[in-house]
Chains A and B, each alone.
Chain A
Amino acid sequence: MRLKVNGQEVEVQEGTLLLEITDPPHLCYHPHTETRGLCRLCLVEVNGRLLPACATQAQEGMEVRTDTEDLRTLRKTLLEWLALFTDLSLAPGLQGLLEAYGAHPGRWGRVPETRKEREPIRDNPFFLRDYAKCINCRRCVDACGEGIMGVWALTLEGRGLLAHPTTPLDRPLPETPCVFCGNCIQVCPTGALRPLSMEV
């Protein structure tokens, strides 16, 4: 099938995701966890509508724009909010994006209480959960459950600014079905989940 990306004709196979043929910034999408459509950073304009590139399949005759002024403004805002609520110090990729989009979180002022104040949780011999650095992409939840391991030791809890992945009922990890495979660490993009061996 044929479609247009930023004015250029492209030919692709059926079932191809827009993310595979365009290159918008993206966070939550990960090929192993099948997480998609959450972070909204990869929104692209399709025939005038905004759709997540990671969750939209290419279709005959689509006109896709990936870098309009509106999209840049939207991404800039999304990135600023991420930086307001979370500690991105261990996410060099995201810091680079903030710079590239000219994002200035400071223009929103100080946020009263956010995940940033949370202390890291150390409840097992292998890794810690530092939710101050979590951006709610849910990759870890999906890697633990449906995506890879099928043990569902992680889930999403809380609402709004306090929403974050954790264990069911906030139990310590050793009291959950966790098998400590660390696949959640591997897919975590911000260092919110990291091995204790990295702590000096």
Chain B
Amino acid sequence: MRTTCPYCGVGCQVEPEIQGGRILRVLAPDIPPNHGALCVKGRFGLDFPFSGKRLLYPMVREDRRQAFRRVSWDEALDYTASQLLAVLKRRGPEAIAIFPSAKTTNEEVYLTQKLARALLSTNHVDHCSRLCHSSSTVALSRSLGGASMTNPIEDIWKTDLFLVVGSNTTETHPVIGAMIKKRVRQGAGLIVVDPRYTGMAEAATLWLRVRPGTDLFLLNAMARHILEEGLWDQGYVEERTEGFAEWRASLEPYTLEEAERITSVEKEKIALAARLYATTKRAGAYWAMGVTQHTKGTATAQALVNLALLTGKVGKEGAGLNPLRGQNNVQGAGDMGALPDVFPGYLKVSDQAARKRFEALWGVELNPEPGLRMTEVFEGIPKVEAIYLIGEDPVTSEPYQDHLKAKLKALPFLVVQDILENETTPFAHVVLPAASFLEKDGTFTNTDRRVQRIRKLLDPPGEARPDWWIVQELGKRLARALGRPWALYPGPEAIWEEVRRAIPEMMGGITYRRLEGEGVRWPCPHEDHPGEAVLFRERFNTPSGKARFFPVHFTPPAETPSEEYPFTLSTGRVLFHWHGGTLSRNSQLKEAYPELKVEVNPKDAQRLGIGDGEVIQVVSRRGRIQARAWVTERTPEGVVYAPFHFAEAPANRLTLNALDPFSRIPEYKVSAVRLEKLD
């Protein structure tokens, strides 16, 4: 039976064959988005639901000094409800935060944020895209009035030039990476902006090896050069944008000469990249964490948006602005309102008309104050007294791990709802065992806005239950105590029907019946609508219908190398693993990449006398980890690269929690470290 891969945002369709409690093999059907192709994670990494680390029974402890005791679902849910209600009564809604997950279904995210908003009156609702594309979301929303890929994945076949910035596409979105590479073999150009020699850089027609954290300068310099050469799309800028004059003036300092000095990329290369991007009609920009995970993540994403508007690339086939979303349902989690400032459909919590819509639908009065973002919630402990985590492992994924652990220890009440034991479970008071993607029905929305079905192929093990069931049962108890209404749903489809009614302009035409075939892209307002492929063809989703330029300026990273910490550490992922490693390291994938390897440039290795494969220590101002050195040209001189998947050697013990002022994303991509030999 067909379902949707639970790893990245590509949303590949998979057909796992299950026999005798294990996966025999995984094939892929010949339908979008992957048309039969898969990557190693989808092909060989789907067996984590069979892991011995599955959480099987609800567990409770009143105090962290006690051991967990196994309890019935009734007891676990009653206890959770009573604790949340006690915090609500004592400290008000501001003291409670709930994080739905970008790994759960749309239906589950919708229900979870509804529980937070309609029952607990809190807007402290957020999810892990805070740590990945929140910078893109801010930049795209304020400029275009929408924060998703503007173009469909299929447009890759119509694209003549790819501008890929800060995305290790062949390892993090391998199926899209392979498509882009194939299109390049057919003759399209590929400009890659990345400090590392990734698979994309290898395939590039032009590789700009920027110094980490300087791509904003490069992008602004490209824009300035395009203006200087008169290669911009004057008609488009006049008709479809605003704020141009002010922005243009702001580019004054970004000369090619200065860009070369700051980014260390030769100015001729920057000029060539600018000319190619401006003069190729079907040129699409793609980017990921290399852009967003900086203290100037929003500014850098904005520089890309400005560049695309200047050259008239948005609203056209084979072009556009395409942030590659990380988690399988990170697009859907945002669409369903797992964000502190918006309801489902990105309707603003502070907007009265939007609030009225949801007040009428849910039959309650709603809190008009936007909530705290995830990174702020953790900082807000112990003022924030209760956190309900679904499918998140902040101990692995948040920066500056030791600081985060101290915060969690000071948190009076933590609920962890997940499928597998992870690094955060030991901090919980209540553990609620959830069903995996193989064990429930629902929908995920992939990176290009395609809503796709997941299907129940197995019964959950032990007493694990689907997240929607758990949230619904908890809601029942909270509603009873608060005297508030709380609808009950027989299953995920009934929840989806409410989503269709809540945001008809976006999801109205998408029914489970239609999704039996291939997925349907939003916006899809009615059942005869095919779903929109390219956004903003005629107008942008802003009040004026025009896109807006915003001036953005280069600032150096929060922490720069010093004598004591002479290297720049960049963190990220590898092909064989997924984020905190909870899934991939409990699957067949662990054998292919069993332990942390830190990339060190050969020149640096030689200077420090570090041999390939030697175990070393990586030390920052915040902590140290042990790792095997991988001496490779992939990383430039002065830079070391560490994947963050390994709980026993967590790269996030080293990173700092300096945040972007707009998106509050941490600066994972730049921190200062030194390397020590073990003696």
Question: A-side interface residues toward B, CB under 8 Å?
Answer: 31-32, 124-126, 146, 148-150, 174, 179-183, 185-186, 194-195, 197-198
Contact = CB atoms under 8 A, between A and B. Distances in A.
Interface stretch (B27-35, B335-343, B501-509): B27-35
B390 to A, nearest CB: 30
A93 B37 CA distance: 22
Contact of B28 (A31, A125, A126, A186): A186
A197 B25 contact: yes
Given A125-B44, A179-B39, A179-B575, 10 more contacts: A125-B588, A126-B40, A126-B43, A148-B37, A180-B40, A183-B36, A183-B38, A195-B44, A197-B23, A197-B47
Nearest to B43: A182
Contacts of A149: 37, 178, 181
A111 to B, nearest CB: 31
Given A125-B591, A125-B592, A150-B181, A181 B35 contact: no
B65 interface: no
Contacts of A194: 25
A146 B181 CA distance: 10
B589 to A, nearest CB: 8
B205 to A, nearest CB: 14
Contact of B592 (A180, A181, A197): A180
Interface in B173-191: 174, 178, 181-182, 185
B619 interface: no
B104 interface: no
B597 to A, nearest CB: 14
A193 B178 CA distance: 21
A182 B592 contact: no
Contacts of A182: 26, 38, 40, 43-44
Q: Which of B47, B170, B203 has the most CB of A within 10 A?
A: B170
Contacts of B36: 32, 183, 186
B44 A126 contact: yes
Contact of B27 (A124, A126, A186): A186
A182 B592 CA distance: 14
A181 B174 contact: yes
Contacts of B249: none
A148 B588 contact: no
B24 A198 contact: yes
B37 A32 contact: yes
9 contacts: A31-B30, A32-B35, A125-B44, A146-B185, A150-B181, A179-B39, A182-B40, A194-B25, A198-B24
A93 B516 CA distance: 28
Nearest to B28: A186
Nearest to A124: B592
A89 B34 CA distance: 30
B383 interface: no
